[in-house]
């Protein structure tokens, strides 16, 4: 019974931490000033490195007409227990990809890389069947990804953070208290279950 209780606690912690940490990758693009989203055409592939002819850049971080991106694979969905599936690109593919500089090169940011059906940012459709790619597709089509909107988001966050420092009960404290309360409830339920099991 103790092993069962331990396993239940570990599973609860994993579920809670996964759902909190992994859900906002397409939205976090707006907060990362060194991340750019581009659409373009794959012109060359060598292992997991792709050369892309840039058609459009949304945040104007990337200024080159041609870029090389490391770890370039299309995100196509999630498998069992949250594992992510990828497929390899082909020369000639249209694509949309979020990139971030790392060690004097560009890498895919947060797995946001997908094959596109065109280079028209207002109408393109991204392949993937993944919620992150679907949200990225929506943000590209609606022009939510833009330098101006990033500036507005950054300014709003700065204002919110400055007002939060004045407030003693910050979001971080609220999250911590909620996590502790959930933990107490789970432990209490397990404790009651163990006591009932022993009485039998």
Quick one: pLDDT at residue 29?
Answer: 93
Quick one: pLDDT at residue 195?
Answer: 79
- The winner for highest mean pLDDT among 19-33, 38-52, 184-198 is 38-52
Which residue range(s) make up the domain with 60?
A: 34-145
Q: Residue 106: what are its φ and ψ, rounded to 5°?
A: -110, 140
Which among 192, 156, 184 is positioned nearest to 12, based on CA atoms? Answer: 184
Quick one: pLDDT at residue 159?
Answer: 61
Quick one: pLDDT at residue 82?
Answer: 58
- Which one of 119, 145, 171 terminates a domain? 145
CB count within 10 Å of CB 14 equals 12
pLDDT band at 13 (very low <50, low <70, confident <90, very high): low
User: Are residue 38 and residue 131 in the same domain, yes or no?
Assistant: yes
User: Are residue 120 and residue 75 in the same domain, yes or no?
Assistant: yes
Q: Is pLDDT of 56 > 70? A: yes
User: Are residue 17 and residue 41 in the same domain, yes or no?
Assistant: no
Residue 150 lies in a domain: no
Q: Is pLDDT of 93 > 50? A: yes
Q: Is pLDDT of 162 > 80? A: no
Only one residue has tokens 């579920």, namely 15
Three-state SS for 88? coil
User: Are residue 128 and residue 193 in the same domain, yes or no?
Assistant: no
Quick one: pLDDT at residue 173?
Answer: 64
Residue 29 lies in a domain: no
Q: Is pLDDT of 69 > 70? A: yes
User: Are residue 163 and residue 110 in the same domain, yes or no?
Assistant: no
Rounded Cα gap, residues 66 and 22, in angstroms: 30
User: Are residue 38 and residue 108 in the same domain, yes or no?
Assistant: yes
pLDDT band at 176 (very low <50, low <70, confident <90, very high): confident
User: Are residue 109 and residue 86 in the same domain, yes or no?
Assistant: yes
Three-state SS for 50? strand
Helix/strand/coil (H/E/C) assignment for every residue in 93-112: CEEEEEEEEECCEEEEEEEE
User: Are residue 177 and residue 125 in the same domain, yes or no?
Assistant: no
C-alpha torsion sign, points 144, 148, 154, 160? negative
Residue 116 lies in a domain: yes
Only one residue has tokens 């404290």, namely 173
Residue 131 lies in a domain: yes
Quick one: pLDDT at residue 174?
Answer: 67
Q: What is the CATH number of the domain that holds 90?
A: 2.40.50
As for how many domains the chain has, the answer is: 2
Q: What is the pTM of this model?
A: 0.67
User: Are residue 141 and residue 161 in the same domain, yes or no?
Assistant: no
């Amino acid at each position: 019974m103790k092993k069962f209780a331990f396993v239940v606690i570990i599973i609860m912690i994993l579920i809670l931490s996964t759902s909190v940490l992994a859900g906002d990758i397409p939205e976090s693009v707006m907060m990362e000033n060194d991340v750019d989203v581009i659409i373009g055409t794959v012109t060359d592939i060598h292992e997991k490195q792709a050369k892309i002819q840039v058609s459009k850049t949304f945040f104007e971080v990337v200024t080159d007409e041609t870029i090389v991106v490391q770890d370039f694979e299309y995100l196509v969905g999630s498998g069992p227990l949250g594992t992510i599936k990828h497929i390899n690109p082909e020369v000639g593919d249209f694509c949309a990809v979020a990139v971030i500089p790392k060690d004097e090169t560009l890498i895919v940011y947060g797995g946001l890389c997908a094959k596109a059906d065109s280079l028209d940012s207002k109408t393109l459709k991204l392949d993937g069947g993944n919620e992150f790619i679907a949200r990225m597709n929506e943000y590209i089509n609606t022009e939510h990804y833009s330098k101006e909107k990033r500036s507005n988001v950054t300014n709003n966050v700065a204002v919110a953070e400055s007002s939060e420092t004045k407030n003693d009960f910050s979001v971080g404290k609220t999250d911590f208290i909620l996590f502790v309360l959930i933990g107490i409830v789970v432990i209490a339920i397990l404790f009651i279950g163990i006591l009932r099991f022993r009485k039998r």
